[in-house]
Amino acid sequence: MCMVLSESFHATDWTSTMQLEGITALVTGANRGIGKQFARALVEAGAAKVYAGARDPASVTDPGVVAVQLDVTDDASVRALAAELGDVQLVINNAGVGAPALPLDIDLEQARWEFDVNYYGTLRVAQAFAPILARNGGGAVVNMLSALSWFAMPQLSNYSATKSAAWSLTNALRLQLREQGTRVVGVHVGYVDTDLTAGLEGDKVHVSAVSDALLAGLRADEDEVLVDDTSRQVRAGLSAPLSALYPDPAAA
């Protein structure tokens, strides 16, 4: 099927550079792991204010951040926070969950829960905060994705599906929100050394590598941040035959 984009979506070369010093940011899922590191890195980069969203604000303990209550699976919670935080210029959609399960074995309630956090949660926050970003000059939305947006692992099949959906959403948001001057950035990485990956084998990057790459990408006005070799290799493999990403062990 051939897709022809309307002229309204063919816009505009970006010429502005995002200044992190003095910015006001919201990070979801900021009480642990990558989100905690994002919030910490923004404070160190000179952000004027960093709101750290979590279901339980008491679980946010880092100095220099402002803990706020946020459940990305709850429409009312997201709307209430957006009504409160009218000064936000940067939104980092980091909240995410995942549980190992083969596709034929996964419990459907678990599957729905993962989608509710990883996909619908990202969508809820983007919808609620896009008008605020527009009023504050455009700013940026960052969606924390994964190399598994592009590569399916049977034991993480549903997590991969949620991140694939969130990647598609990220690209669509980028097209729509550029009209209001809002940059949309997707961050992809392989395994990161957090509690989410504690039971998984493989090389893992430190959370600081993710935050360093994101901040550099924001300053360079990048649309897509590939943190590690895993994400770069899988991204490049998308243009190759399917066997490049999924070789047949029997043929080796």
Which residue numbers are catalytic? Answer: 159
Asked whether the beta carbons of 35 and 92 are under 8 A apart, the reply is yes
Q: DSSP 3-state assignment of 136? A: coil
Nearest-5° angle of CA 109, CA 114, CA 120?
Answer: 110
Nearest Cα residue to 144 out of 211, 49, 50: 211
Q: What are 157's two structure tokens?
A: 């099949």
Helix (H) or strand (E) segment spanning residue 231:
helix 229-237
CA distance 139 to 133: 6
What strand order describes the sheet that includes 24-27?
66-69, 49-54, 24-27, 90-93, 140-144, 183-188, 224-226
DSSP string covering 17-68:
----TT-EEEESSTTSHHHHHHHHHHHHTT-SEEEEEESSGGG---TT-EEE
Token representation of residue 105? 């074995």
Separation of alpha carbons 39 and 10, rounded Å = 33
Alpha helices in 53-136 (DSSP H): 75-84, 108-115, 121-135
